[in-house]
Amino acid sequence: MLDPTTASRLQFALTTIVHIIFPVMSMGLAPFLVYFTWKEVRTGEAIYEQLRRFWVRIFAVSFVVGTVTGLVLEFEFGTNFAAFAAASGDLFGGPLAVEGMMAFFLEATFLGIFVFGRERVSDRLYLLSSILVGLGTWLSAVWILVANSWMQTPRGYSVAMENGHPVITLVDPIAAYLNPRFPWMFVHMQNAAVLSVALFMAGVAAYYIRRGRADDERFWRATLKIALVAMLITAPLQVIHGDAYARHVAITQPQKFAAMEAVWETASYVPEYIVAFPTSLSDILNPRAKDIFGIGIPGGASWLVSGGNSQAQITGLNQFQGSPPVAIVFWSFRLMVGLGFWFIALALWGGFRWRAGELFEDNRFLRALIWSSLLGFFAVEVGWIVTEVGRQPWVVQGVMKTSAGVSSGLTGGEATLTLLGFVGAYSALLVVYGYVVRRIIRGGAPEVQRTRREMPGQEVAVDD
């Protein structure tokens, strides 16, 4: 049996890793759906109605499953981390409550119109419903990331002892909820969501373009072009923003940055390994920057932490009380960074082939898109691992340790049993979700009546 702290951490990690797939899909799809709806209303072209109807199905499925798995996460604060919930509920509970009242209900209310109301409301109201659904989706991210970013860089609070237990009280809402980490996390997360969905759309489109399905060839070609435009914008932005974000982490959470770079002893001119290989079996579980063989930039990590000085000093992990699991953070960070550069290369490759007029004929490029279709989601997963595991042993950085936040009455047997149950349940959930999305994709482009509504109750034919 695992101890309660380890089992609870693994259970929360599992449920988070599975849950994040669904909000990433819905948040990433939201801007595309607003664009498709706007173009459909503005131009009346059938292709945009097809795109909107096809992708809104996947959005709706992701929203439903994401809602269920998100509720489970909130319940886990009470079942597995009751001490943390009791101590920080005054501050941490507020953003979660607002997320439900503001974002979730906004999204859920107008999703009904967006999914089922195309022929029942005017064009303007329908377009407004798409915007409000997208806004609700992104507002959910705002409040969830407000809560999580406070755990990374806590501000605006006081700690007092009540009945022998610490209680974290909100004293400055602006400082707490607009803490230094929030804008970095929000931009990085939302851009990653759009990039992940663009990669997914491009991969699916590339698959069917290679198969040469003549009946919906125009649909898939349009999908690939729109996805590629999004990739050309978001892939470079993710790397540029990530560079600045890492510098912010180095300032506010130096122990996390030291784990990201596997710096155990304080050193200068530390290299930045984009691709790293262990030189011995022990390096896999205990990586150290000075022993790693890889392709990197000499002094790059020092340059990154200082913003331009390759001789800058990085504080080693041995200077901190307690350090995160370095191997998990180090290798996850390498995977995230490596994938980020691959996405840029993939986007530029597609841009050059498009300009040369050979976007749909380059089989190597299409195969690369197919194999990369889910890598955006994987990059988000390892990015969250860096964010959350890198904060350990703290649940609230510098304020409360994870071990102190676990429910006091929880036994190792109970925590292990529920962990095993969640492994089975969430594995089945992923299989069902994958099956439903695959069926939607295999159905191809929806058949539409090629008409444009000029006014409620009046339709005018549109030529092909």
Q: Does the global pTM surpass 0.85?
A: yes
Evaluate whether residue 169 is within a structural domain.
yes
Q: What average pLDDT does this structure show over 137-165? A: 90
Q: Which of 372, 391, 407 is the endpoint of a domain?
A: 407
Residue 162: pLDDT band with limits 50, 70, 90: confident
The residue with greater pLDDT, 387 or 211, is 387
Evaluate whether residue 184 is within a structural domain.
no
> Is residue 79 scored above 70 in pLDDT?
yes
Domain that holds residue 325: 194-407
Evaluate whether residue 186 is within a structural domain.
no
Claim to verify: residue 10 and residue 83 sit in the same structural domain: yes
> Is residue 128 scored above 80 in pLDDT?
yes
Q: Which of 27-41, 150-164, 319-333 has the highest mean pLDDT?
A: 27-41
Claim to verify: residue 70 and residue 100 sit in the same structural domain: yes
Claim to verify: residue 286 and residue 362 sit in the same structural domain: yes
Evaluate whether residue 208 is within a structural domain.
yes
Claim to verify: residue 47 and residue 120 sit in the same structural domain: yes
Claim to verify: residue 316 and residue 416 sit in the same structural domain: no
Evaluate whether residue 240 is within a structural domain.
yes
Which pLDDT value is given to residue 289?
61
Q: Which of 407, 437, 455 is the endpoint of a domain?
A: 407
> Is residue 456 scored above 50 in pLDDT?
no
> Is residue 293 scored above 50 in pLDDT?
yes
- To 10 degrees, what angle do helices 412-442 and 21-43 make? 30
Claim to verify: residue 288 and residue 391 sit in the same structural domain: yes
Claim to verify: residue 32 and residue 142 sit in the same structural domain: yes
Claim to verify: residue 366 and residue 259 sit in the same structural domain: yes
Claim to verify: residue 128 and residue 101 sit in the same structural domain: yes
Query: Residue 318: which of 237, 394, 244, 262 has the closest Cα?
Result: 262
Evaluate whether residue 185 is within a structural domain.
no
pLDDT (tens digit per residue) in 399-414? 999 998 899 888 889 9
The residue with greater pLDDT, 349 or 300, is 349
Evaluate whether residue 148 is within a structural domain.
yes
Q: Which of 407, 422, 455 is the endpoint of a domain?
A: 407
Query: Residue 79: which of 162, 165, 166, 12 has the closest Cα?
Result: 12
Evaluate whether residue 298 is within a structural domain.
yes
Claim to verify: residue 247 and residue 110 sit in the same structural domain: no
Q: How many structural domains is the chain composed of? A: 2
Claim to verify: residue 382 and residue 424 sit in the same structural domain: no
pLDDT (tens digit per residue) in 315-327? 888 888 878 888 8
Distance CA 135, CA 337 (A): 29
Claim to verify: residue 359 and residue 287 sit in the same structural domain: yes
